[in-house]
């Protein structure tokens, strides 16, 4: 059998996945359910191809975790008591997902019961099959994690802001929960959970659950998540954490030295929560807190319910990067309340969340800022469309045989949001807001497929606005590559003068120092730099640097754009900053494009190798995996 290698860019993660090459796009009249060929058999749209679990027979409903966190061995150990429901009354085997877990025993009502751990699949881990006696409704799995667990990062004190205490955090999305808890690791299985977590007494544990800000810091912590959530939203962090309220329902956890700056930067979180709830329906998760992680956190943010995990690299001092908070908050509706049923449906989470992010930014910071962010988002989408194979440009993407992390390009995010924006523009904002509110209500606490979404859309918006919407075009958005012609276009007046300045400077009509940048904001700087020609002369790079001190810029996103230009133009004066940046930041979206650009030349590769070797002990396993190929 022949395999093709597909390499996909995802939020800065590039994973090379092994699998059958997906078919090219079908015409609109072909439903995806029936798309099948000899090499690519029919897909069952509601099947999760990334889990071995059998929820259609026995479905897990609740988890009770009793865990010890051992920083000296880098191991989490304890018991997971798993309650389940028999969907098929005679089913007798419960199948769970695991990855690199050691299973010590499985018991039911105090008695050992038989289990088998299958050989591991490289993407999916190993199925744990448990024979459950009749009438039994819960089993307890005693287990411990591997120090290399893909979903856990253990940090030494030196890798934290305070330098005194170690730190741990988990990152479960997409299929890493199974590396720290044996469970049915599929987004279509929703569980409530309770947990007791024991840590060194001086540290605080927090989870994606109820966190009592006033809890006594004694090394034993209790959590409860009463709403049913998919496994990828289970999260734990342990460290020297302090808490500061930002509003009635919002607050921030961070290492003490970061706390004030974080609370200031994100002080609009409460207002974001209030406006979102007003427009799109009630917030269903009680509190909304942020956890600021050390800089090795591999993502910008992660929407763990009640407690979003956030990179510190967005604390810019001027709120210029807080759309990240709007995004993670918006997931409380799209993602956490209504969840993608399989990783093929991820665009339902990320597309609607990205759409809501724009709406929140507009409500809090005004339309000018929203338009600037929309232009930047659209440019980034165009770049992805130019580089991705057609099959990976569909919203509903075929991921069979591939690592589900592959789905995370700008397609589910920005193309998904653009689709939502088009629906809004066609039916009008009020009607679309009403639709979204109804959608979140209708599917609350359910996990749905793309096809369920389309059926709901047909029954609601399409029926009510038959003259304004076209079912064929909706199929095109979801099942065809690229962006349909006539889609909404972004435009920002604030960028027009930036374009003029760049053009004049490139034409030699204006010196860099003559450009009036005094009132430029972060987005204007990003637009200025991101749209420079691929190649500039040393004199031009030097001129820009002398005029604007770009090598020293504090904002991590602007620094990223400048450093990328510096690599592409081999501008050596920026290289010591580049080294420092690569060693201190583990957020993949920021470092990966730099490694990728460096890897294009021999001398670049040598430089990258040196930085990577120094940085690797501090990188998250995902960041290591996504970048090691560039320095080989
Ligand atoms: N759910 C994602 C993070 C994620 C993506 C985890 C892929 C695992 C795999 C989160 O909500 C997200 O989208 N983060 C973005 C934020 C951005 C688009 C504002 C990030 O981390 O860059
Ligand atoms: Zn997201």
Is 278 exposed, middle or buried (CB count within 10 Å of its CB: 0-12, 13-18, 19+)? exposed
Q: Parallel, antiparallel, or unpaired for β 190-198 and 152-155? A: unpaired
**Residue 570, pLDDT above cutoff 60:** yes
Asked if the model's pLDDT at residue 5 lies above 50, the reply is: no
Q: What is the mean pLDDT of residues 344-352?
A: 97
pLDDT at 443 over 70: yes
Summarised one tens digit per residue, pLDDT across range 508-527 is: 999 999 999 999 999 999 99
pLDDT at 277 over 60: yes
Ligand 1 nearest atom to the CA of residue 354, by list position: 18
153/148 Cα distance (integer angstroms): 8
CA distance 58 to 40: 29
Whether residue 454 contacts residue 476, with contact meaning beta carbons closer than 8 Å, is answered with no
pLDDT for the residue numbered 245: 98
- How confident is the model at residue 24, as a pLDDT? 33
Structure tokens at 525: 């700087």
User: Is ligand 1 within 6 A of the CB of residue 407?
Assistant: no
pLDDT category of residue 405 using cuts at 50, 70 and 90? confident
Decide: 11 in ligand 1 pocket, CB within 6 A: yes
State yes or no: pLDDT of 295 exceeds 50: yes
Please determine, for residue 35, whether its predicted confidence score (pLDDT) is greater than 50. no
504 falls in which pLDDT band (50, 70, 90)?
Answer: very high
Element (H, E) at 322: none
Strand-pair category, 4-10 with 152-155: unpaired
DSSP 120-179: PBTTTBEEEEEEPPTT--EEEEEEE--TT-TTEEEE-GGGSSSSSS-EEEE--TTTTGGG
Tell me the sheet residues that pair with 170: 152
pLDDT band, residue 14 (cuts 50/70/90): very low
Q: What is the chain's mean pLDDT, rounded?
A: 93
Q: Is the pLDDT of residue 20 over 80?
A: no
pLDDT digits (tens, 9 = 90+) for 229-255: 999 999 999 999 999 999 999 999 999
Residue 528 vs residues 282, 358, 365: alpha-carbon distances, Å:
39, 21, 21
Mutational test site, ligand 1, from 171, 177, 232, 299, max ligand atoms within 8 Å of CB: 299
User: Which ligand 1 atom is at minimum distance from the Cα of 349?
Assistant: 1
Given a cut of 90, is residue 52 above it in pLDDT?
yes
Is 143 part of the annotated catalytic residue set? no
- Torsion sign, CA atoms 295, 7, 126, 139: positive
**Ligand 1 atom having least distance to the Cα of 299:** 21
Mean pLDDT in residue range 196-223: 96
Our answer on whether the CB atom of 15 is closer than 6 Å to any ligand 1 atom is no
Concerning whether 288 is annotated as a catalytic residue, the answer is no
Whether the pLDDT of residue 26 is over 80: the answer is: no
Q: How far is the CA of 350 from the centre of ligand 2 (A)?
A: 5
Length of the chain: 632
307-310 and 288-292 beta bridge pairing: parallel
- Stronger pLDDT, 8 or 434, i.e. the higher one: 434
DSSP letter at 409 equals S
pLDDT tier for residue 39 given thresholds of 50, 70 and 90: low
Neighbours of 451 (CB within 10 A): 17
Of the candidate ranges 8-12, 88-92, 174-178, 450-454, the one whose mean pLDDT is the lowest: 8-12
pLDDT value of position 299: 97
| pLDDT for residue 406 is more than 80 | no
Active-site position among 253, 358, 365, 413:
413
Beta bridge partners of 251: 245, 289
Q: Are 200 and 241 in contact (CB under 8 A)?
A: no
Query: What angle do the packed helices 346-365 and 416-427 form, to 10 degrees?
Result: 60
Take atom 17 of ligand 1 and give the residue whose Cα is closest.
Answer: 324
pLDDT in tens, 459-484: 999 999 999 999 999 999 999 999 99
CA atoms of 393 and 404, how far apart (whole Å): 15
According to DSSP H, which parts of 443-521 are helical? 450-459, 461-464, 471-479, 493-506
Q: Are 305 and 228 in contact (CB under 8 A)?
A: no
pLDDT digits (tens, 9 = 90+) for 312-335: 999 999 999 999 999 999 999 999
pTM of the full predicted structure? Answer: 0.94
**According to the model, what pLDDT value does residue 261 have?**
98
Catalytic, out of 255, 328, 350, 422: 328
- For the chain, the C-alpha Rg in angstroms (whole number) is 24
What b-and-e string marks burial along 29-42, b requiring 16 or more CB atoms within 10 Å of the CB? eeebeebeeeeeee
Question: Residue 93 has what pLDDT?
Answer: 98
Q: Residue with the nearest Cα to atom 15 of ligand 1?
A: 300
Q: How confident is the model at residue 407, as a pLDDT? A: 59
> Residue 20 has what DSSP assignment?
P
Strand 190-198, strand 220-230: pairing: antiparallel
Instruction: Give the number of the atom of ligand 1 that is nearest the alpha carbon of residue 331.
Output: 11
The pLDDT tens digits of the residues spanning 162-183 come to 999 999 999 999 999 999 999 9
pLDDT at 557 over 60: yes
């Amino acid at each position: 059998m022949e395999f093709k290698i597909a390499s996909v860019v995802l939020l800065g993660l590039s994973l090379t996945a092994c699998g059958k090459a997906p078919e090219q796009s079908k015409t609109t009249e072909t439903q995806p359910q029936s798309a099948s060929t000899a090499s690519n058999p029919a897909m069952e749209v509601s099947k999760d191809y990334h889990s071995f679990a059998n929820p259609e027979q026995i479905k897990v409903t609740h988890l009770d975790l009793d865990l010890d966190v051992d920083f000296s061995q880098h191991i989490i150990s304890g018991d997971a008591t798993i309650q389940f429901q028999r969907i098929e009354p005679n089913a007798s085997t419960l199948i769970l997902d695991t990855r690199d877990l050691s299973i010590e025993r499985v018991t039911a009502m105090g008695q050992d019961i038989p289990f088998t751990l299958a050989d591991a699949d490289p993407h999916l881990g190993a199925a744990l099959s448990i024979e459950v006696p009749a009438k039994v409704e819960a089993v307890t799995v005693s287990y411990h994690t591997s120090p290399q667990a893909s979903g856990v990062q253990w940090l030494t004190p030196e890798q934290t802001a305070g330098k005194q205490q170690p730190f741990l955090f988990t990152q479960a999305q997409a299929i890493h929960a199974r590396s720290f808890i044996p469970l049915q690791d599929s987004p279509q299985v929703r569980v409530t959970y309770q947990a007791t977590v024991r840590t060194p007494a001086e540290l605080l544990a927090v989870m994606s659950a109820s966190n009592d800000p006033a809890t006594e810091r004694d090394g034993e912590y209790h959590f409860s998540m009463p709403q049913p959530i998919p496994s990828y939203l289970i999260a734990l962090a342990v460290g020297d954490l302090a808490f500061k309220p930002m509003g009635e329902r919002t607050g921030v956890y961070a290492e003490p030295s970061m706390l004030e700056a974080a609370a200031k930067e994100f002080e609009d979180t409460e207002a974001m929560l209030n406006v979102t709830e007003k427009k799109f329906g009630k917030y269903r998760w009680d509190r909304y807190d942020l956890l600021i992680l050390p800089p090795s956190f591999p993502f910008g943010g992660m929407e763990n319910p009640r407690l979003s995990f956030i990179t510190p690299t967005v604390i810019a001092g001027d709120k210029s990067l807080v759309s990240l908070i709007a995004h993670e908050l918006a997931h409380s509706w799209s993602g956490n309340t209504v969840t993608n049923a399989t990783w093929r449906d991820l665009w339902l989470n990320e597309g609607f969340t990205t759409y809501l992010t724009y709406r929140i930014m507009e409500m809090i910071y005004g339309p000018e800022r929203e338009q600037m962010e929309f232009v930047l988002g659209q440019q980034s989408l165009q770049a992805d469309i130019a580089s991705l194979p057609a099959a990976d440009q569909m919203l509903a993407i075929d991921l069979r045989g591939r690592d589900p992390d592959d789905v995370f390009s700008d397609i589910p995010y920005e193309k998904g949001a653009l689709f939502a924006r088009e629906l809004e523009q066609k039916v009008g904002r009020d009607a679309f807001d009403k639709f979204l509110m109804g959608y979140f209500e209708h599917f609350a606490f359910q996990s749905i497929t793309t096809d369920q979404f389309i059926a709901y859309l047909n029954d609601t918006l399409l029926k009510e606005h038959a003259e304004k919407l076209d079912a064929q075009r909706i199929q095109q958005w979801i099942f065809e590559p690229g962006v349909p012609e006539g889609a909404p276009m972004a435009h920002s007046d604030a960028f027009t003068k930036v374009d003029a300045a760049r053009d004049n400077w490139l034409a030699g009509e204006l010196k860099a120092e003559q450009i009036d940048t005094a009132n430029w904001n972060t987005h204007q700087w990003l637009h200025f730099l991101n749209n420079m020609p691929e190649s500039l002369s040393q004199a031009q790079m030097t001129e820009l640097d002398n005029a604007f001190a770009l090598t020293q810029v504090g904002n991590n996103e602007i620094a990223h754009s400048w450093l990328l230009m510096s690599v592409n133009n081999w501008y050596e004066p920026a290289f010591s900053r580049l080294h420092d940046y690569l060693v201190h930041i583990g957020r993949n979206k920021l470092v990966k494009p730099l490694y990728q650009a460096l890897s294009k030349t021999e001398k670049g590769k040598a430089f990258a190798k040196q930085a990577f070797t120094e940085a690797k002990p501090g990188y998250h396993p995902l960041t290591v995996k996504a970048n090691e190929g560039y320095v080989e």
